[in-house]
Amino acid sequence: MTTLTLQHPSTLVEPGAITRWNPSVKLITLFVVSVSMLFIWEPIRPALLWAALVIIALTIGNVPARWLAFAHIPFIAFGFGLFLVNVLARAEDGVVIGAALAGRTLVIGVASILFLTSTAPVDLMRSLNQNLKLPASITFAVLAGYQLLLGLPKEWQTIRAAQVMRHGGAKLNRKGKPKLTIKDAGRLVFTVLIVALRRSERIATSLESRGFGLKPRTVYRPIRVHAGDVVVGLVVCLFAVAYCLPWI
């Protein structure tokens, strides 16, 4: 049985200029860009923006072309569904609106890919804590939770193995692999949930016993917001709003 693993996109990409952009500013910018996209109801502008973003991803973003193409599959699936349903459910303007929605999905998708590939989760959480003043208890709990999540696939396999043992060997499916019935799957998910809950209490206890929550907190290698970060953020935001708003 191979071990299931989760890998964050930021580990797959060579760090570049976008990686050095402050994570909090980057997140806010991404948010503004995504919201302003909601005001576009025709397909041409999203298509242009999508092309521009793909070029940025391939050049400055260092995103490998093959990986970018694979990452597009869910966006295309989602966008295609939106397009089709609008064509069918709207008598007059279905094609235009459907295409606009599909284009919007692609733009937000590629922008999100740019964000994910350039931002390591730990850096983002540290930046949210230090720059946006989110409580440390939340950001560190998220990171602890993420570590817990990375261990869950292994937990899943252990519990599954125990389950199969207890049944005296699983029934085999047509391919000769152990068959996972819906009842078993339900039990498996529930047990994993309980394991996570039990571990969360342990995490809280160990955080508290190490003096977590005491003030003042000092930080190792603080993440700073430079003037350049903010200027780039503002320029991108203003561009996005100017690009999307005037033609409502």
Partner 1 sequence: MTTTAQQHSTYRNPYDSPFRWQLKDLVLVVVLGVVFGFVYWALVQAWNGLAIAMGPAGDLAQHFLFGGWLLVAPLAVAITRKAGSGILAEIIAAAMEFVFLGSPAGPMLLIAAFLQGLGSELPFAIGRYKKFGITRYAISGFLGAFLVFWWSAIRSGWFGQEIFLLRLGIQGVSGILLGGILAWVLVKAIQKTGVVDNYAIGRAQ
Residues that bind partner 1 (CB under 8 A): 6, 8-9, 27, 30-31, 34-35, 38, 41, 71, 73-75, 77-78, 80-82, 84-91, 97, 101, 105, 108-109, 111-113, 116, 119, 121, 124, 137-138, 141-142, 144-146, 148-149, 152, 189-190, 192-194, 196-201, 203-205, 207-208, 212-213
User: Among 133, 18, 107, which Cα is nearest to 10's?
Assistant: 18
**Dmax (CA) of the chain:** 68
- Provide the minimum distance between the beta carbon of 32 and partner 1 in the complex, in angstroms, as a whole number: 9
* Residue among 172 and 247 whose Cβ is closer to partner 1: 247
Provide the H-helix boundaries in 22-135.
23-37, 44-59, 65-89, 94-118, 121-130
- Cα separation, 141 vs 16, whole angstroms: 28
CB 103 within 8 A of CB 42: no
- Provide the minimum distance between the beta carbon of 127 and partner 1 in the complex, in angstroms, as a whole number: 12
In angstroms, the Cα distances linking 79 to 13, 57, 82, 99, 106 are 26, 20, 5, 8, 7
- Cα separation, 56 vs 95, whole angstroms: 29
- Provide the minimum distance between the beta carbon of 48 and partner 1 in the complex, in angstroms, as a whole number: 19
- Provide the minimum distance between the beta carbon of 210 and partner 1 in the complex, in angstroms, as a whole number: 11
* Residue among 138 and 172 whose Cβ is closer to partner 1: 138
* Residue among 104 and 229 whose Cβ is closer to partner 1: 104
